[in-house]
Amino acid sequence: MDGTLIDSEKLWDVGLHELAIQLGGELSQQTRDSVVGSNMDNTMLVIFTSLGVEPDPAAMDKAAQWLTERTAELFRIDLPWRPGAREALESLYEHGVPMALVTSTERTLTEVALDSIGRHFFAATVCGDEVGGRNKPDPAPYLMAADLLGVSAGQCVAVEDSPMGMQSAVAAGCTVLVVPAEVPIAPGAAWIVRDSLVGVDAFTLGALRAADVG
């Protein structure tokens, strides 16, 4: 979702930088890059540690709650689409291709985002707080999504923007298309890289799947 369908990573940036200031420091670019695609628990741990703040569970829970509420405010104001993302969803939906949204964002914020994205596109959604702690880069989120769609992960094409998400989808056995957003990703043997989703439709993704099987 974040960075793949919508350009929400910039909205996360606002909240993360504000949180770092509240904790008495500044968010470095290295720290920001390291939590792209991560779940909330890991994000809090990384930020607290990078700022030299004691990672007290109660303090991290309070910070996570603040960040969730702040990000929800920003999500309601504006959720800009990534180039080509809406058109890709519409093509897949029109051609009856079942889709699952697999995100490290927690359910509360995902529901806010779905009001703008369009929940009708997705037959299933898997959020960061629904995988029993086995978040990306673990394959569990994509395996769960494939199961909810009633297919094997090997029959799925995953579209990702972050290293953690890419690793999760590859480990699950999906055909993987990567459109980097915040963190550069080079082409690899197990994934395909594009600059954007402009021009990507049901036939494009179908061809990727066919080529991977071949």
pLDDT in the model for residue 214: 64
pLDDT in the model for residue 11: 83
* β pairing state of 124-126 and 175-178: unpaired
Distance between CA atoms of residues 55 and 184, nearest Å: 29
pLDDT in the model for residue 33: 83
Evaluate if residue 127 carries a pLDDT over 80. yes
Read off the amino acid at residue 19.
Answer: L
Tell me the pLDDT tens digit for each residue of 34-57. 887 778 888 999 999 999 999 999
208: left (phi over 0), alpha (psi -120 to 50) or beta: alpha
Evaluate if residue 74 carries a pLDDT over 90. no
Residue 12 — pLDDT band, cuts 50, 70, 90? confident
Interior angle at CA 67, CA 168 and CA 79, nearest 5? 70
Measured from the Cβ of residue 206, the count of other Cβ atoms closer than 10 Å reads 14
168 and 137 Cβ atoms separated by less than 8 Å: yes
Furthest CA-CA distance within the chain: 54
Residue 169, classified by CB atoms within 10 Å of its CB into exposed (0-12), middle (13-18) or buried (19+), is: buried
Mean pLDDT of the chain: 92
Q: Characterize 89-101 residue by residue with b for buried, 16 or more Cβ atoms within 10 angstroms of its Cβ, and e for exposed.
A: bebbbeeeeebbb
Distance between CA atoms of residues 8 and 110, nearest Å: 11
pTM of the model: 0.80
pLDDT in the model for residue 151: 97
Tell me the pLDDT tens digit for each residue of 135-152. 999 999 999 999 999 999
Distance between CA atoms of residues 96 and 119, nearest Å: 15
Tell me the pLDDT tens digit for each residue of 164-182. 999 999 999 999 999 998 8
pLDDT in the model for residue 103: 95
Three-class HEC string of 154-193: HHCEEEECCHHHHHHHHHHCCEEEECCCCCCCCCECCEEE
Evaluate if residue 68 carries a pLDDT over 90. no
pLDDT in the model for residue 147: 98
Provide the token pair at 206.
Answer: 């179908």
Mean predicted confidence (pLDDT) in 107-134: 94
Residue 90 — pLDDT band, cuts 50, 70, 90? very high
Evaluate if residue 194 carries a pLDDT over 80. yes
pLDDT in the model for residue 72: 87
